[in-house]
Structure 1
Amino acid sequence: MHLLLLPSLLLLGGGPSIIVNGLANNASYRPYQGPGPVSPPSRPPYQVPAPIIPPPSAGLPYRGGGVGVGGGGGGGGEGRGPPGPIGPQSGPPYRGQSPTPPPEGTIQQGPRGQWLGFLEGDIRKERVFDYVIVGGGTAGNTIAVRLAQAGFHVAIVEAGQLYEDLDGGSHVIPGDDLGGVGWSPADVPKSDVDWKFLTEPQAGSGYRRMHVARGRCLGGSSALNFMIYHRATRGSLDLWSEIVGDDSYRFDNLLPYYKRSLNFSPPRPHTRKANSSAVYYVPRDFDLPGRGGPVQVGFTNYVSAWSTWLESGLKSLGMKAENNYNYGQLNGYHYATTTIRPSDGTRSSSASFVFEAKKQRLYNLRVFLRTQATRILFDGYKRATGVEVLHKGAYYKLQARKEVIVSAGAYQSPQLLMVSGIGPVEELNRFRIPIVSPLAGVGQNMWDHIFFGPDYAVKFQTRDHFVVYPEALEEATALYHATGTGPLSSNVPEFLAWEKLPARYRAHFSPETVRELDDFPPDWPEVEYLSGDGFIGDFSNVVANQPTNGRMYATILGALVAPLSRGNITLRSASALDPPVIFPNWLEHPADKEVAIAWFRRMRDVWNSPGLGFMTYGPEYYPGPYVQTDEQILDVVRKSLMTVWHPACTCKMGRRGDSTAVVDTRARVFGVSALRVVDASSMPILPPGHPQSTIYALAEKIAEDIIREERGGGGGGGAQLPSSSSSTSPPFPFPREYHFPAFFTRQTNLTTHHAQLLKWSALVLAYARHKRIFRLHLSAAAESDLFFNRRLDRRLSPADIRDVVDFMRRDGGRAEYLLHNARDPAPDVVLLYWRSLDEWADLVEAYVDDSAQKGSVLTLYELTDGDGTRGTEIHGMDSEVLLKALNVLVKRGKAQIFGQEDSLGIKFF
């Protein structure tokens, strides 16, 4: 899943760098009803015959839009009525390349214009952290922020910068998710947002040297992908758990981790309009809106006509809708849930975790941008002690007191391991790299998905409309900036479908291919349909290769999601600064070739189905009707196949006796200590479809495993409350009442209930003091051992936990909600005062006196993490609690706080 979109279908007219989805069911230009007057087209519109509407008796309702454009939702009904509303006109948020930027100094809404502030680190000398995370991508940001929320001091090492600031902000815009990602080495972004890797020429891909896009920015490939969100199938996760010997990876056990990163928004029918057809989802698949994590998931504010006609074609062939695509089932079709903010139509990536950390004022997290890890450091006992990095032209060391966690992706995680001495012996010896751990599986076993497909001219509008009428793109851009709706607010593949190939196609498979495919779980689809709303062709350079005959085109992007070919990653040199050598080996396995040929024929049959065929013009446009034999089809596939940007399994998880395994079920690298790999490379298999959701879930799970290990609770299940201690603590001695079921049952008598609240309040404070917990996250608290006695199988309900917190607030002010939004009716984070603020202020003042620092200026970092406070009570304090204690000293006339939030200084008197 990895597509940056086409920098500009206005390449002829010099407009903004965007290409978008189709509009309605007519190829002639009709202006968007955006703000301000609209000029008529400067040339006569290209006319096509009136669209044919399926009769009601066919059971295929028309949802293609019409000649009118309803306000960003894609036309209402048959599209013959007046345009729909387009939302408020005042105060539009700034999204990407706004024609009129906001005033200088304005704090902008949405991701555009966000800054890291105090989180951004600068290296001038060796730095020490508890955890050093290599890679600020999908997994790296997730695990880093979770560990920081648990009170650990964490560094993120990211070679790139903020994608919001690159390429005119186009990567924020969902409609720009396909540019700069063609296989041609010339089709790359202008900026360094992409690593711009090239594969080695291979027979399976027509001996092409192919560009494979990978994110080089905060957010990683979640900042460049298709934004598709769905979960793995139950069968694929059962297979995962069987391979690694750990039931915690089965679907039901992993589901809470899938949910944890997300904040789900239900569909907005008023923006999608009738063109969206039905929306298939089940509320049970997500936590309540506003109660999840920082990554936004929902449905797009716009749906193209092509998606609804593809649905019509599949239905006419008997395919059914599947609404459990986030609950372990994929076979069938659905409109995709996406990581797009419905509120303003912008991309939501893993960078959302970092911006959430800024809102939470996690001063114990630092993000080092434009900083590349070059080597993992080990001591004489093969323990990872830190990372060597290149920052501003100089080499530095970031030391890790506890662990190094590599989250550099399926290409660079194995590369970094190998240049650090972990990998196949032959490969290390080839570059004279000292061997730390001989692991044959590093860089091997690479899975990936590929796609390809035929293009047809069609009788409804697609994004090719903007090649013919560039002024339409200007109107779409204005609508998007004003309302966050319209074609730019939607990703390209907004409609998906999955199946095992029907029997009449499988009848041509060899017995060996049938056996290979039958080894996959029964619910594992073999192929995936993605709606391609425009001409794609051979995917070399989508923008440059657009037809100029004025017609509209659409594509079925057909993916192979049960591949049997396996690639590998090797070294180009002993330096991590050189790109790795990438051998994808696509279509090398005989079964993949047979499936590809049958799949191409199946896509042609869908194009010519009763529900779709009458909406095409003439014969197939690409590759063309002359391509008929198996040999001709395979030749076309080889020359046009493209990665779906899902490389995985190059540091695969497995059992200790598996010679190809690199990490165990807690992502710990075999043969060394204090080193983990957490990203797509550490998956043992690549589940069907798009892995973004599973990578988030894996990172959430491993983060929890680490926290449990640090708290002495072991890993693999349950939750621990975030702690600010940097060392493990002995088991907490729970009081006698904790071991009786009645303690977890809300008492109805007021006097008894008050006594119960007093005991719970005392328990929470004692537990927090013992574990040095400063923050209670209510969304996760019910799973912690504080509120969940697993031996009794009794827990305090979330509502009762909130009652305890409210009691603590009223009774002595021993708790306080940390509000990120004054209007938040149910804040999730609670500050716990197991010492009063006056007591903390006394401790700070005593430290200043004892260390003779009166008159000195100290930073928050020096107080919470500096060597000078090590061994004192204030070392490792929560930054928010410390600030409140410092304000007590200010009122006493003992301190002065100055500077901005990003760089506070405290002078003591």
Structure 2
Amino acid sequence: MYDFIIVGGGSAGSVMAHRLSARSANKVLLCEAGQDTPPGNEPPEIRDSYSGQAYFDPRFHWTELKVTTQIVSHNNPDESRPPLRKYEQARVLGGGSSINGQMANRGAPTDYAEWEARGAAGWNWKDVLPYFKKVERDLDFDGPYHGKDGRIPIRRIPHEHWTRHSQAMGEACKLAGFAFLPDQNGEFVDGYFPVTHSNQDEQRVSAARGYLDRETRKRANLTISTNTVVKELLFEGTQCVGVKALVDGREQEFRGREVILSCGAIHSPAHLLRAGIGPVGHLKEMGIPVLMGLAGVGQRLMDHPSIALSSFVRRGARMNAHTRRHIQMGLRYSSGLPGTPAGDMFVAVLTKSAWHSVGEQIASLLTFVNKTYSETGQVKLASRDPRAEPIVEFNLLSDRRDLDRLMSGFRKMAALQMSAPLKAVTDKPFPASYSDRVRKIGVVNTKNKVLTAIAAVLMDGPAALRHYMIDNFIVEGFTFEQVMRDDEALEAFVRKAAIGVWHASCSCRMGAADDPMAVVDTQGRVKGVQGLRVVDASIFPVVPCANTNFPVLMSAEKIADAMQ
């Protein structure tokens, strides 16, 4: 019998396991479907500062998970469904923090004012800042915005160590009138900056590495069970009393005083739905007895819509010996669209777009809507079978303001791309899409390594050959000239190419007791049932203007603190 059973060993689960087991009276079980990442013996792809290999390695994914990003029309059933895309949801200890881009930012103070306004009392900026500081050990900065004693080290690549491509982008931003901000996590204002990342000594520091270190693993009251797939939540009446799981393929039951779902914004709502907690109509449609009718389960799923403008990077401006970090600088700017807050847009500057030889020659300006208004996504069950992945519809760009800002963002990036500093180090800009072809060549295997090595030699050859290869093998559907000349072509490109940036959130939102769409209270407790919490990105009332890893770590620290 355990006091706490945590389902999911990702960012939130790692924090919860560390904090709850710090009290020796608590007996804690952490269940993770994926493999372990033992301290000091993590797979090299995960330890690497460059995230592009872990990110595309199927050993670390839920390989059957597919999603739609384009808008799904439910009013017009005859309209053809948009294509399904593979979704790289982490299945490994440390979760997303073991394979993500290691970006370590927090969002805007206005985000957390909105959380409170939407019913998450006690989650405004002054309430959450102490927990952001508790997470981190900032290696570069001190002061009121920064933590110095946390489990996750934070650092930045200094400007002098940036690639020539990143430096050129910095010069282009300066010429365009943007201020240089030495500290992205200082005051939330517009400007360009070295991005903050969770990394030390050129190695990733995942939540597993930071929170489930050797000392933590020695605790007699903590059991970490990897290769453990939770199939079912066990209930007695409306009290959650444990889980049924497959441990290395063998079925086992674990009983606990409280179960904490930390499976992320796709799998946490799926667990609730299979247990009979969710929208009554959907549960009845699936033939699942209703345990607790909660209309918000799986609803209003969010992500940050993004598009990319890519270009060929000339020799000498590519990755250098100082770091394997391919995202060294970022730009935060305000769209100026009426009603939107300052800093509503974000650009991540990638000198390298993939792990392979061609990826090393292609840079990207990845622009995403930091403050998105598209919140009509949903997670539904495809089947009652726990082995079946749920139906996931992100419905990106369901709010016209997101489409308009990606279009204007693309034009803004094009202007920077055509400025003298970037033109000097790049060639042949093109609108990029994360298509199935790009995905396939991105899978880490020998065939792709050989193919891209040959292609890269040709790309470094005569300009005419390079342009021919980009037009015929990389660009899909739209050329740079087309989208810059024709607004309709630009809109069509953005609608087709926009994808999320793996920041799935908000599908089990926390809110006030009288909010019919709230799923959990401000401590993650599921409404109407006992002994069950959700602690992960799904409880966000709205996705913040940030990569979601640090807001998840903060949320887990805050809820763990409230539970002590």
Aligned pairs (5 A) from 1:252-331? 252-266=126-140, 281-288=141-148, 292-300=149-157, 302-323=161-182, 325-327=184-186, 329-331=188-190
Cα–Cα, structure 1 residues 180 and 368, in superposed 2: closer, same or farther, change >3 Å?
A: closer
Structure 2 matches for 1:541-580, cutoff 5 A? 542=354, 546=358, 552-566=361-375, 567-580=377-390
Whole-Å separation in 2 of the counterparts to 1:554 and 1:363: 48
2:403 is aligned to: 593
Aligned CA distance change for structure 1 residues 324 and 375 (closer, same or farther; 3 Å): same
Aligned to 1:668: 525
What CA distance in whole angstroms lies between the structure 1 residues aligned with 2:531 and 2:58?
A: 38
Structure 1 residue 285: Cα displacement: 2.8
Shift of 1:169: 2.2
Are the aligned partners of 2:61 and 2:88 in contact in 1 as well (CA < 8 Å)?
no
Aligned to 1:486, which of 319, 322, 327?
A: 322
Q: CA deviation at 1:585?
A: 0.8
Aligned equivalent of 1:143, options 16, 34, 42: 16
The answer for unaligned runs of 5 or more in structure 1 is 1-127, 182-187, 267-280, 466-475, 477-484, 507-513, 537-541, 708-909
Q: Please point out which of 24, 27, 48 is paired with 1:173.
A: 48
d(CA) in 2 for partners of 1:699, 1:355: 14
2:339 equivalent to 1:527: no
Alpha-carbon distance in 1 for matches of 2:482, 2:169: 24
8 Å contact from structure 1 (residues 304, 487) kept in 2: no
Give the superposition deviation at 1:703.
0.4
Name the residue aligned to 1:389. Answer: 245
Cα distance between partner residues in 2 of 1:192 and 1:618: 34
Q: Distance in 2 between matches of 1:167 and 1:258?
A: 26
**Paired position in structure 2 for 1:250:** 124
Q: What's the secondary structure of 2:306's corresponding residue?
A: strand
Match of 1:685 among 516, 533, 542: 542
- C-alpha distance in 1 between matches for 2:134 and 2:15: 10
Q: Does 1:656 align with 2:501?
A: no
User: How many Å apart are 1:659 and its aligned residue?
Assistant: 1.1
Alpha-carbon distance in structure 2 between the residues aligned to 1:553 and 1:392: 41
Matched residue SS, 1:496: strand
The partner residue of 2:108 within 207, 220, 233 is: 233
- Aligned partners of 1:674 and 1:413: how far apart in 2? 15
Tell me the CA shift for residue 626 of structure 1: 2.6
Shift of 1:294: 2.3
Q: Distance in 2 between matches of 1:191 and 1:545?
A: 22
Q: CA RMSD in A?
A: 2.7
SS of 2:367's partner is: strand
Sort the Cα spacing of 1:619 and 1:569 in 2 relative to 1 into closer, same or farther, 3 A. closer
| Percent identity over paired residues | 27
Equivalent residue runs for 1:68-87 within 5 Å: none
Structure whose CA Rg is larger: 1
Q: What is the deviation of 1:249?
A: 1.3
Partner of 1:37: none
Give the letter aligned to residue 334 of structure 2.
Answer: K
Residues 586-612 of structure 1, C-alpha deviations (whole Å, 9 max, x = no match): 123322222221111111111123543
TM norm structure 2 = 0.83
Indicate if the aligned counterparts of 1:315 and 1:611 stay in contact, CA closer than 8 A.
no
Q: Is the 8 A contact 2:4 2:27 kept in 1?
A: yes
Query: Which segments of 5 or more consecutive residues in structure 2 lack a partner in the other structure?
Result: 73-79, 431-469
- Against the structure 1 CA distance between its residues 330 and 689, is the aligned structure 2 distance closer, same or farther, given a 3 Å change threshold? farther
What is the deviation of 1:163? Answer: 4.5
Contact 1:167-1:189 at 8 Å conserved across structures: no
- Specify whether residues 360 and 578 from structure 1 end up closer, same or farther in structure 2 by C-alpha distance, changes over 3 A only: closer
Which string of whole-angstrom CA distances, capped at 9 and with x for unpartnered residues, describes residues 231-271 of structure 1?
2211111111121251x3122221221121222323xxxxx
- Distance change >3 Å, CA 445–CA 431, structure 1 → 2: same
1:705 is displaced (CA, Å) by 0.5
> May I ask how many residue pairs the two structures share in their alignment?
505
Q: CA deviation at 1:133?
A: 0.5
* DSSP 3-state at the match of 2:52: coil
**Could you say which residue in structure 2 is the equivalent of 1:198?**
66
**Whole-angstrom distance in 1 between the partners of 2:41 and 2:227:** 13
Residue in structure 2 matching 1:699, options 536, 556, 562: 556
TM-score, with length taken from structure 1: 0.53
1:457 Cα offset (Å): 3.3
Find the aligned partners of 1:632 and 1:180 in 2 and give their Cα distance. Answer: 34
Please tell me the residue identity of whatever aligns with 1:215. A
Deviation at 1:353, TM superposition (A): 4.3
CA distance in 2, matches of 1:293, 1:561: 26
**Which of 379, 382, 405 lines up with 2:260 in the alignment?**
405
2:86 partner letter = H
Structure 2 distance, partners of 1:309, 1:140, is 40
How far 1:645 sits from its partner (Å)? 0.5
In 1, Cα distance between equivalents of 2:429 and 2:206: 40
Separation in structure 2 between the aligned mates of residue 442 and residue 154 of structure 1, nearest angstrom = 26
Q: Distance in 2 between matches of 1:454 and 1:201?
A: 19
- How much does 1:287 deviate? 3.2
Partner of 2:451: none
Note the alpha carbon deviations across 1:359-396, whole angstroms, 9 max, x for none: 5731100011111111111112x111111111132322
Please state how far the C-alpha of 1:211 moved relative to its aligned partner. 1.5
Equivalent in 342, 358, 374 of residue 231 of structure 2 = 374
CA 1:327–1:663: 2 relative to 1, 3 Å: farther
Give the Å deviation of 1:432: 1.5
1:326 Cα shift?
2.1
Structure 2 counterparts to residues 882-893 of structure 1, below 5 A: none
Structure 1 residues 543 and 287, CA gap change in structure 2 (3 angstroms): closer
Q: Alpha-carbon deviation of 1:451? A: 1.9
Larger strand proportion, structure 1 or 2? 2
Higher relative contact order by CA 8 Å / sep ≥ 6: 1 or 2?
A: 2
CA distance in 2, matches of 1:199, 1:669: 26
1:612 partner amino acid? L
